[in-house]
Amino acid sequence: MKRKSNALFLTRGAVIAAIYVTLTYLSHVFGLASGVVQLRLSEALCVLPAFLPEAVPGLTIGCLISNLVTGCAPWDVVFGALATFLGAVGARLFARLANKSRLLAFIIPLPTVISNTLIIPFVLRYAYGAPDALPFMMLTVGAGELLSALVLGMLLYFSIKKIFGRK
């Protein structure tokens, strides 16, 4: 039975990674996956750790692969995946608080928004030499994260919750 649960964990994590890569590539096609102004549709998936622990490695690996296939700088590959990992772990932890109130569910994507808002502007500055001021990049990256992780993420969260009746 243990072998079956390990296979299910790995399979779900791999599917989440594949969906993350696909959505990031779709954003990349429209020029929204990277840069000072970005809106990665894949960031909506960062609510999945509230339902599945395997979403944490799935999202992290998905981000790492996405950054590789879209031609990101090595520092972006590393620190982008780190920001996603921190956001996913935070979402998993915040989901425990959110079980107490439907209103608290809105805190689940906040670690993703915060980690990307604080980390990615430094990546843009030092890996790509973006000339914009760090506060401006924090504002633009944060706005994109609010749209993708918070707005789209919460739509996904409540859809999953309604469909599967979980959490």
Q: Model confidence over 5-58: pLDDT tens digits? A: 899 999 999 999 999 999 999 999 999 998 999 999 999 999 999 999 999 999
27 vs 40: CA distance, rounded Å = 6
> How many domains in the chain?
1
To the nearest 10°, report the CA torsion of 24, 159, 82, 78. -10
Average model confidence (pLDDT) across the chain: 94
**Domain containing residue 76: CATH number:** 1.10.1760
**Alpha helix segments (H runs only) across the chain:** 2-29, 55-69, 74-98, 110-128, 134-145, 153-164
Residue 1 scores a pLDDT above 90: no
Question: What are the CB-based long-range contacts (under 8 Å, 24+) for 92-96?
Answer: 92/49, 92/50, 92/53, 92/55, 92/56, 94/50, 95/49, 95/50, 95/51, 95/167
**What pLDDT, on the 0 to 100 scale, is given for residue 163?**
87
Residue 59 scores a pLDDT above 70: yes
Residue 138 scores a pLDDT above 80: yes
**What pLDDT, on the 0 to 100 scale, is given for residue 152?**
98
78 vs 93: CA distance, rounded Å = 23
73 vs 35: CA distance, rounded Å = 12
Residue 166 pLDDT grade (very low, low, confident, very high; cuts 50, 70, 90) = low
Residue 164 pLDDT grade (very low, low, confident, very high; cuts 50, 70, 90) = confident
Residue 100 pLDDT grade (very low, low, confident, very high; cuts 50, 70, 90) = confident
- More confidently predicted of 163 and 122: 122
Cα angle 162-41-98, degrees, rounded to a multiple of 5: 40
Q: Model confidence over 43-56: pLDDT tens digits? A: 999 999 999 999 99
Residue 111 scores a pLDDT above 70: yes
**What pLDDT, on the 0 to 100 scale, is given for residue 3?**
75
The secondary structure of residue 54, as a DSSP letter, is: T
118 vs 139: CA distance, rounded Å = 10
Tell me which residue has tokens 């969906």.
19
User: What residues make up the domain containing 139?
Assistant: 2-164
